[in-house]
């Protein structure tokens, strides 16, 4: 696996590149739909590939480990074959899910003991086990096991947690070197920068992570409740330290505005549940702003969902029809909304790539951001 940096914007730090994997080339900047349990909720793999045009999706180590379990995924030939998806996959390490189970887990130097949200059974994740599980799942990009700190977070706790994440990274890398991929494709380990919203900790973590010379690097522990200005400050700081020739992955971010702002700081890869989760509650992201499709104003609006939309749903269904489905609690409402939102996110990063290539990214971004914030 290798990253090819093609061009950096002259008026910002935005860049375009290609991440070459055994399952295909990923054009960056890219948004990665979240497929927690081996599925992007409500979307067929055919729609993901042909309509939404996803280039890479996420799987979730914690959820897949609990259900269906490695005893199902391994004999299937790994997650790619199990879900019949032949493009790249990235799996997180399970660290974030363990963080979200704050009432049902214990963190020690050895690893984390946590209680299953499914049946209450207890399990233990160590850095070594996180690598072994991700070897079995078979994702192209696998993440180091880390501790994600909450926001706000005490300085001393953030510091101790960051240092433990760094020690865990060394154990992850040792385990990667001791083991081989289980299937016929290469796997790359991305380490994760932590440090909460403290500049000195973020800088120290970025320098430490950069020193390991991984194929790519991730920025974790953001988008956990901090204000946008702190998200941007930490992202900009970290991107100024990380090597330019390696892809940068900002985990769990974010809104369409967040994506454009962070692309301008030099981020290459994003994932977030927002487009799919918000779709399930009737929120549509469009090129002209945000729509709550359940509002009465759309009741007799027979226009297309998004005149600039790239998905078949945008030209096939009207706002009035989607409102009717949503108010009637029809499953099709969630499917249409999810396909639309994911298509929009993939369209947005594709447009960003085109404008970086053309040299007018900043001008385009400044036109788009007020529109994206607009509530229609």
Residues belonging to the active site: 92, 271
Q: Before 235, cis peptide (omega within 30)? A: no
Structure tokens at 72: 């199902």
CA pair distance 240, 159, nearest whole angstrom: 21
Quick check: 284 and 313 in contact, CB under 8 A? no
* CB-CB neighbours of 324 under 10 Å: 15
The two three-digit tokens of residue 99, written as one number:
């963080």
Rounded CA separation 203/200 (Å): 5
20 strand-pairing partners: 2, 25
Helix, strand or coil, per DSSP, at residue 362: helix
Three-class HEC string of 308-361: CCCCHHHHHCEHHHHHHHHHCCCHHHHHHHHHHHHHHHHHHHHHHHHHHHHCCH
Q: What is the DSSP letter of 34?
A: B
List, edge to edge, every strand of the sheet that includes 192-193. Answer: 30-32, 269-271, 248-250, 217-219, 192-193
- Per DSSP, the three-state class of 183 is coil
Tokens read off for 30: 């890219």
Contact status, residue 193 vs residue 216, Cβ threshold 8 Å: no
Q: Are 304 and 320 in contact (CB under 8 A)?
A: no
Give residue 367's Cα distance to chain centre: 25
Strands 112-115 and 269-271: unpaired
């Amino acid at each position: 696996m290798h990253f090819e940096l093609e061009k950096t914007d002259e008026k910002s730090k935005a860049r375009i590149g290609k991440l070459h994997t055994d399952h295909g080339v990923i054009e960056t900047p890219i948004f990665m739909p979240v497929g927690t349990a081996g599925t992007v909720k409500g979307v067929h793999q055919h729609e993901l590939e042909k309509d939404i045009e996803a280039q890479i999706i996420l799987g979730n180590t914690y959820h897949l480990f609990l259900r269906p379990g490695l005893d199902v995924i391994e004999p299937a030939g790994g997650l790619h074959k199990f879900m019949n998806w032949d493009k790249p996959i990235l799996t997180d390490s399970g660290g974030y899910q363990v963080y979200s189970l704050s009432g049902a887990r214990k963190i020690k130097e050895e690893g984390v003991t946590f209680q299953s949200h499914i049946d209450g059974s207890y399990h233990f994740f160590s850095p070594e086990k996180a690598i072994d599980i991700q070897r079995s799942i078979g994702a192209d990009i696998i993440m180091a096991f880390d501790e994600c700190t909450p926001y706000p977070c005490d300085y001393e706790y953030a510091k101790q947690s960051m240092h433990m994440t760094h020690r865990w990274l060394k154990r992850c890398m040792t385990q990667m070197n001791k083991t081989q991929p289980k299937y016929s494709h290469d796997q790359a380990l991305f380490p994760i920068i932590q440090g909460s919203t403290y500049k000195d900790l973020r800088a120290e973590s970025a320098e430490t992570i950069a020193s390991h010379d991984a194929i790519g690097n991730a920025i974790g522990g953001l988008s956990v409740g901090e204000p946008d200005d702190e998200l941007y400050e930490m992202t900009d700081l970290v991107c100024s330290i990380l090597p330019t020739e390696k892809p940068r992955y900002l985990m769990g971010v974010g809104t369409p505005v967040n994506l454009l702002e962070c692309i301008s700081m030099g981020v290459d890869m994003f994932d977030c549940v927002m487009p799919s989760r918000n779709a399930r509650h009737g929120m549509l992201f469009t090129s002209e702003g945000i729509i709550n499709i359940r509002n009465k104003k759309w009741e007799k609006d027979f226009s297309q969902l998004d005149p600039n939309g790239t998905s078949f749903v945008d030209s096939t269904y009207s706002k009035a029809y989607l409102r009717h489905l949503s108010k009637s609690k029809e499953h099709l409402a969630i499917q249409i909304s999810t396909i639309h939102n994911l298509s929009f996110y993939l369209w947005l990063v594709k447009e960003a790539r085109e404008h970086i290539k053309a040299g007018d990214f900043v001008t385009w971004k400044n036109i788009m951001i007020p529109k994206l914030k607009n509530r229609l």
